[in-house]
Amino acid sequence: DADVTQTPRNRITKTGKRIMLECSQTKGHDRMYWYRQDPGLGLRLIYYSFDVKDINKGEISDGYSVSRQAQAKFSLSLESAIPNQTALYFCATSEPRPGTGELFFGEGSRLTVL
Amino acid sequence: AQKVTQAQTEISVVEKEDVTLDCVYETRDTTYYLFWYKQPPSGELVFLIRRNSFDEQNEISGRYSWNFQKSTSSFNFTITASQVVDSAVYFCALRVDSNYQLIWGAGTKLIIKP
């Protein structure tokens, strides 16, 4: 089984719908991240969490919210999806300081908003 | 501010050719880490290498090699005798000690033709 698991892997939805992407990990890492990938733009950070009580906005948090339900679970929500949120979303984890910052990724969730 | 530039948007070569993917980074921090990740057509992100700023030794892993040069702020990636399975998008990323976030390049799409 994968160390970082994302569900769903693929989702097609309509504008205005609420969507939740879920992430769970078995690596025991405190730090978790949500990234968005668009063609030609690389990965952009949406939100990150350094522990259950610590949640921080990334560079593109508008239109998104997150919930850290437990050390192992970090969910990303789109309250009212819009077409330009169509993208590939990745959850990731990393070791705490003084770790090297290597990210361990889930397999990605492809979201299409019609 | 930190920045990673992958100037090559797309590279196409014929199988068995050698190919180099360029990565140029910017940071004023003296302690930092550089990464390369591979994203095959299936979409997952695969970690390839991590290099810290105090270790300028080049690294070779099979057909893959990395050339880290602090003088030019570059961390280039070479694939020798390329194979069709090397076709993927390759990302270079930077983490500095003062900011735990990974800064990503936009990626280089590598196409290996049979």
A38 neighbors A87 (Cβ within 8 angstroms): yes
Give the residue-averaged pLDDT of B39-49.
91
A32: Cβ contacts below 8 Å, ≥ 6 apart? A23, A25, A48, A49, A68, A74, A91, A92, A93
pLDDT digits 0-9 by tens, B8-35: 999 999 999 999 999 999 999 888 999 9
How many distinct helices (H) and strands (E) make up chain A?
Answer: 0, 11
Task: Give B110 to chain A, closest Cα distance, Å.
Answer: 13
Would the CB atoms of B104 and A42 count as touching at under 8 Å? yes
pLDDT for res B101 = 76
Q: What is the pLDDT confidence band of residue A97, given thresholds at 50, 70 and 90? A: low
Residues of A in Cβ contact (< 8 Å) with B9? 40
pLDDT for res A96 = 73
Would the CB atoms of A101 and B95 count as touching at under 8 Å? yes
